[in-house]
A and B are shown apart, each in its own frame.
Chain A
């Protein structure tokens, strides 16, 4: 908005020998507080000041200077809503040397803690430099508010600094290593207490908690059947299609049966099932135990005299150990069915032929190699899930973090252990 009087300061200087500065900042919003009247030029600072408050309650700051007095007049609503503008105006304010500053509160329409704090901080800064600032026209409510702000003065502000990145990397690495050590310890702790609970089962069969195991079995096994069947069927079909496509170039498509049979029964069935179970049940275990930890339910179990291992972990682990072989077996069947179907339609191999070739290609040992691994995988998934669940802290974020970690660690460990089994079986010649 163009200013009607080209040089208000010069006019004022000539008129009354007082200067009016306006701290610019919010003035772009509309009306210039100094020269918004008749356009005939500003006639004096008193009049100029009177026109300040009609500005739509935006916070503004004007400075009037007489010989030895510097009157700082905040006006409008000094509230948190325009705090950025208020802070900028106060920061831009340059006070001439050798004058006594006064803050005049008469033009403030609303003052809240943010406004009061900014004015108080401004005053404190000047005070620190040895300039005493007086306050004028304080309303009682302003005085109470300023008093409150002064009483609860926050400490000097320091921007947060982060340590150099190399140090941070080293620190994180170190912490991770210690964390791995702690993990191993807690796994051993849980295994130990499991053994002690299980040995107690012989003396007190009731501590086995069969209903709880049945309930967990229902959730981890029965609930997982459809998705595992579906996934394994598709994987089996894909293996046989891909294998068939390449083997057919050499006229060796009959070996698709060996490929699919051995691969699925020895490795894929159990691995796929373990991955699915880790994602489905392992994450659920962690989240259940973790949220119980968060809400002090674990502590409640402790003080009632129940053992967390016995009540929460053992039923889940046992249910998982029972469920994994069942699921693995179902996964094997589904995958072979998928492979057979593709062989029939894609490779024109009659089901009868497929079955005959399968009987030659695999033995009962091939199936057992896969199934034997299943309970171990279950143990790994269950232990990792329990350990991560017990590590959950007080926040929603840590629950999410440990649930993720549980799944990631479980799948990683499953693959590592599968590799160890492969070495073991090949060295004993199966």
Chain B
């Protein structure tokens, strides 16, 4: 195996611009939710919530703490039971789907949990290989190479491959977890606060990475985030969760004119203005 790669002839920057023009969101709905109601005991967290996510878009999700952003994500993933409503992912209703259909959907999505949720008794490399081992049949060599490739792509040092999650810093856990979410090159990734706890440079690199993955792999990104920079720089649309439903969703410029106190405070408040 040659370490000396062939000389670069891929003019990535020029192409990236060209590609991003091509990779605008399409009209195809990849995730379709209608009338979703989720509650715990006597409290209703989400009521009659409707949401569409389009292929190849980067959708940012905002909302005050405790408005149910993570609950909605978990409901979509089927981790939290819902009281009413329908959710279709890739045209499959996960509630009525057969095991095989469910399996097919699970291969096509990747999830980055807020705390990383890396398996603590496996190394980073083994963590990334878990979905590959489970869903694919491939050689050890290819698995190792792809795992290392993903590790590098998400910006982790090579030495992190054989470390255990307890030996990683918070930012590294986020990246390792993203690498695991991307292990099967999914069509749809859910990111729960991916840039919280990262330094601004790391967060910007993370945003770049998400953008680049969308361009190259046609990724659809569902991102819960409070990072105003991410919302401004990479999100095609931003959805606001409040009053137990999606208040509004649209490009950020529209949201900044949306007539709601919380939204106004959020996008045009002191912190938002200070960053300009």
Contacts and interface: CB of A to CB of B under 8 A. Distances in A.
Interface string B1-31: 1111110111110011011001100000000
A157 B149 contact: no
Interface in A305-351: none
B165 A144 contact: no
Given A80-B185, A113-B217, A155 B158 contact: yes
Interface residues of A, number: 46
A125 B6 CA distance: 10
A114 interface: yes
Contacts of A156: 1-3
Interface in B82-125: 107, 119-121
A132 B9 CA distance: 13
A152 B149 contact: yes
A153 B5 contact: yes
Contacts of B216: 141, 144-145, 148
A395 B120 contact: yes
Nearest to B216: A145
A150 B8 contact: yes
Contacts of B184: 80
A150 B10 contact: yes
Given A80-B136, A87-B138, A397-B121, A152 B152 contact: yes
Contact of A149 (B11, B18, B119, B149): B149
Contact of B166 (A80, A117, A394): A394
A140 B15 contact: yes
A150 B6 CA distance: 9
Contact of B145 (A135, A154, A159): A154
B158 A140 contact: no
B120 A394 contact: yes
The A interface is mostly helix, strand or loop, or mixed, namely helix
A146 B215 CA distance: 12
A114 B146 contact: yes
Given A141-B23, A144-B19, A156-B1, A114 B10 contact: no
B153 interface: yes
Contacts of B16: 144
B25 to A, nearest CB: 15
B54 interface: no
Nearest to B152: A152
Contacts of B15: 140-141, 143-144, 147
Given A150-B5, A156-B3, A395-B165, A87 B10 contact: no
Interface string A148-190: 1111111111010000000000000000000000000000000
B139 interface: yes
Nearest to B18: A140
Contacts of A393: 166
B124 to A, nearest CB: 13
A117 B10 CA distance: 14
A156 B3 CA distance: 6
A123 interface: yes
B142 interface: yes
A140 B216 CA distance: 9
Contact of A148 (B136, B141, B153): B153
A124 B217 contact: no
Nearest to A116: B216
Interface string A223-247: 0000000000000000000000000
A207 to B, nearest CB: 32
Interface size class of B (residues with CB under 8 A): 35 or more
A128 interface: yes
A154 B148 contact: yes
B3 A155 contact: yes
A149 to B, nearest CB: 7
B215 A141 contact: yes
B231 to A, nearest CB: 24
Contacts of B12: 143-144, 147-148, 151
Contacts of B19: 140-141, 144
A398 interface: yes
B245 to A, nearest CB: 35
A147 B139 CA distance: 24
A81 B136 contact: yes
A113 B6 contact: no
B145 A397 contact: no
A373 to B, nearest CB: 38
B6 to A, nearest CB: 5
Interface in A240-294: 294
A147 B6 contact: no
Contacts of B149: 113, 117, 149, 152-154
A153 B22 CA distance: 26
A57 interface: no
A148 B153 CA distance: 8
B167 A394 contact: yes
Nearest to A400: B121
A396 interface: yes
B115 to A, nearest CB: 11
B136 A113 contact: no
B267 interface: no
B5 A157 contact: no
Nearest to B3: A156
Contacts of A18: none
B164 A395 contact: yes
Contact of A114 (B8, B153, B185): B185
Nearest to B118: A395
B26 to A, nearest CB: 14
A113 B146 contact: yes
Contacts of B55: none
A80 B150 CA distance: 13
Interface of B: 1-6, 8-12, 15-16, 18-19, 22-23, 107, 119-121, 132, 136-142, 144-146, 148-150, 152-153, 158, 164-167, 184-185, 212, 215-218
28 contacts: A83-B142, A117-B145, A120-B5, A124-B1, A125-B2, A127-B4, A141-B23, A143-B10, A144-B10, A144-B12, A144-B15, A147-B8, A148-B12, A150-B10, A152-B153, A154-B158, A155-B3, A155-B148, A155-B158, A156-B1, A157-B145, A159-B141, A294-B166, A393-B166, A394-B165, A395-B165, A395-B166, A396-B119
4 smallest A-B Cβ distances: which pairs? A394-B166, A128-B2, A397-B121, A152-B152
Given A81-B136, A127-B2, A151-B12, 9 more contacts: A113-B149, A124-B6, A141-B23, A144-B19, A147-B8, A148-B216, A154-B144, A155-B148, A155-B158
